[in-house]
Structure 1
Amino acid sequence: MADDTSPRSGPPTATTDTHSTTDVIVIGGGPAGCAAARTAASVGLRSVLIEPDTLCRNLYRIPALNNVLGGHTSGPALADAITAELADTELCRLELGRHVVQLRAADDQVTITLDTGRHLTAPYAVVATGVGPLQPGDVPWITAPAGHTLPPLWQAGPDDAEGRTLLVLGGDRPIGTFLRAHPATVTRLLVAYPQTDAYKTEEIRDDPRVTLLPVEHLTLHPSDGTRVTADVVTPHGRRHTITADTAHLSLGSAPTAPTGDLVRDTDGYCPPSGQHPRIMVAGDLRSARFQRIMTAMGSGSEAALHAYYAARELL
């Protein structure tokens, strides 16, 4: 396979690697993709791992961990360890700064198209592109200005929260991670969430910095740059206005995957069952139910082993 990873100017020109020396193409460099590449190498499979950013980029934004093995208590520490291990994995070639725009599967191989127009082929592909944060316009219980986007809460640091009131849209679990990571930060979180998210707020109910605001509907007004204002309708039909210094998201995530021959369910996720035999799906892209670092790593390893046994006709 060619090793040309330098940026190109002008329109991309489609080229195809005709002499593939790769057994598995791994799409996505998070915990699942990295585990797939590392497991593939452990059984002698050669892989190329494609990631548009840095390896484990989202882990660097998680300041506190309490649900992974190995003694890592912060996302950056775990990300650094994974990155170092992949860098020393001779059978894995990294293609960073590249984005897969299409995935096609045939009887004997898979073909991926990069954002440069270049094509790569291999007998199997592991797709571990994960999920991205939902925005206000993606959920029915929020009305927001057209095209309005907000940062997720996990991107906020202590300086963003100290002495301030933050409106948090949604009750997803990263709120608990934020609070554990900044135990001494004096802040107030106004957590507005629909009734369907009530079970997610159990771990933060007793934190004195949190005010829970169950809502039927929330209308977010354009910000004047200094304050955030929203009109709320409660589940009992009462209406009132809330204000905060800033607004952040904790709405959950939406799957991100290349176009092409991936089978998606009604929510956009790509369950492993029902995919083309040469395509394995790993990590958060599989389902909203198992979005944990540990399950991502396990599914990535399983996907690589699936390719290993399939190549030897042992499935």
Structure 2
Amino acid sequence: MTGTGSHTDLIVIGGGPAGCAAARTAAGVGLRSVLIEPDAPCHTLHRIPALDNVLGGHTTGPALARAVAAELAATPLCRPELGRRATGLRAHDDHVTVTLDDGTRHTAPYAVVATGVGPLRPRDVPWITAPPGCDPLPLWLADPRAAEGRTLLVLGGDRPVGTFLRAHPDLRTRLLVAHATGDDHKTDEIRDDPRVTLLPVDHLTLRTVGGAVAAELVGRDGRRRTLRADAVHLSLGSAPTAPPGALVHDADGYCPPAAQHPRVLVAGDLRSARYQRIMTAMGSGGEAALRAYYAACGLSAPPPG
């Protein structure tokens, strides 16, 4: 059943840093927006215990999330639709239509899609063989008290490993970081930490033995070895998430801005795997909103990057 929708100036899909920046920027130039987010604004920032790469003096993800949510609440031209998910996006010659999971349909001249990425699991990567149903907790959700004095096997060398270590500089733990070739450049920031042992692998088979974890590793030199750890956590990186409909995807599932319909503007981590930072997400969200504004005014802007 289709619910009652609305027509507004801009629809923003995704309430992370990019989406919230788009809504704030749109309000700054007088555009009304509807922001669609299945959770709380910037909820993924709560998994980042330490920040050292954003402006504004915020040193933790939760602090930044609270500040962004407060600014969004003080933006009368933005109407958040929290607890709702976009299930369809259609682009027409003169407007876009976004359908929500309750059947509501919103229309606007333009839409900003900033749904970002979600965490990869062992079943999503070819270099890991894991038992059925194996779904370890991401490292950023690990309880540091439970890690004290223990050895943790970390699957993947994505950057949350460095964030975890910076957030708990006095934590006495040992991290065995097994990673594939694609993560080599990401491990530079942790390779000198004495708590880290880097394990470049071609393949890893995960098993559980009693209450412990065992992993059979095949190194890049072809040598085989067995490791044991007290627990296993994930840091495999992310995969793009996007609503179905009028989006063009590349081979990796990302949505390059320049490839999209003129009325669909992509912002944040959904654009590419190369620029996944809070600051670049916010900047791209603001830029996308300005593109919608310039287009509505009949002004041209440079092609999206």
Query: TM bucket by the smaller chain?
Result: over 0.9
Counterpart check, 1:305 vs 2:290 = yes
Q: CA deviation at 1:134?
A: 0.7
Q: CA deviation at 1:126?
A: 0.4
CA distance in 2, matches of 1:194, 1:84: 40
Partner of 2:2: 14
Q: Is the 8 A contact 2:3 2:102 kept in 1?
A: no
Instruction: Work out which of the residue numbers 56, 62, 69 in structure 2 matches 1:70.
Output: 56
CA distance in 1, matches of 2:242, 2:219: 36
Counterpart check, 1:260 vs 2:245 = yes
CA distance in 1, matches of 2:99, 2:90: 9
Superposed, which structure 2 residues align to 1:232-251 within 5 Å?
Answer: 232-251=217-236
Partner of 1:111: 97
The answer to which of 187-196 and 123-132 deviates more is 187-196
Q: In the TM superposition, what whole-angstrom CA distance separates every residue of 1:127-151 from its partner, at most 9, and x where no partner exists? A: 0000011111111111112342222
The change in CA–CA distance for 1:225 and 1:269 in structure 2 (over 3 A counts) is farther
CA distance in 1, matches of 2:280, 2:256: 14
CA distance in 1, matches of 2:47, 2:185: 25
Partner of 1:182: 168
Partner of 1:47: 33
Q: Write the letter of the residue equivalent to 1:15.
A: G
Partner of 1:98: 84
The SS at the match of 1:273 is helix
Q: In the TM superposition, what whole-angstrom CA distance separates every residue of 1:270-315 from its partner, at most 9, and x where no partner exists? A: 0100101110000000000000000000000000000000111111
Q: Write the letter of the residue equivalent to 1:176.
A: G
Q: Write the letter of the residue equivalent to 1:214.
A: P
| Aligned residues between the structures | 300
Q: CA deviation at 1:102?
A: 1.0
The change in CA–CA distance for 1:205 and 1:278 in structure 2 (over 3 A counts) is same
CA distance in 1, matches of 2:229, 2:268: 35
Q: In the TM superposition, what whole-angstrom CA distance separates every residue of 1:154-184 from its partner, at most 9, and x where no partner exists? A: 1113123112111101111111110000011
CA distance in 2, matches of 1:78, 1:290: 19
Q: CA deviation at 1:152?
A: 1.4
The SS at the match of 1:89 is coil
Q: In the TM superposition, what whole-angstrom CA distance separates every residue of 1:182-216 from its partner, at most 9, and x where no partner exists? A: 01111110000113322211111111111111111
Give % identity: 72
Q: Is the 8 A contact 2:29 2:293 kept in 1?
A: yes
Superposed, which structure 2 residues align to 1:122-201 within 5 Å?
Answer: 122-201=108-187
CA distance in 2, matches of 1:165, 1:211: 11
Q: In the TM superposition, what whole-angstrom CA distance separates every residue of 1:1-27 from its partner, at most 9, and x where no partner exists? A: xxxxxxxxxxxx12353x52x100100
Q: Write the letter of the residue equivalent to 2:18.
A: A
Partner of 1:37: 23
The SS at the match of 2:220 is coil
Q: Is the 8 A contact 2:137 2:233 kept in 1?
A: yes
Q: Write the letter of the residue equivalent to 1:280.
A: L
Partner of 2:303: none
CA distance in 1, matches of 2:132, 2:108: 42
The SS at the match of 2:215 is strand
RMSD: 1.2
The change in CA–CA distance for 1:225 and 1:37 in structure 2 (over 3 A counts) is farther
Q: CA deviation at 1:225?
A: 6.4
TM-score, normalised to structure 2, is 0.96
Gaps of 5+ in 2: 301-305
TM-score, normalised to structure 1, is 0.93
Partner of 2:260: 275
CA distance in 2, matches of 1:238, 1:285: 37
Q: Is the 8 A contact 1:137 1:147 kept in 2?
A: no
Counterpart check, 1:211 vs 2:218 = no
Q: In the TM superposition, what whole-angstrom CA distance separates every residue of 1:56-79 from its partner, at most 9, and x where no partner exists? A: 011111110000011111111111
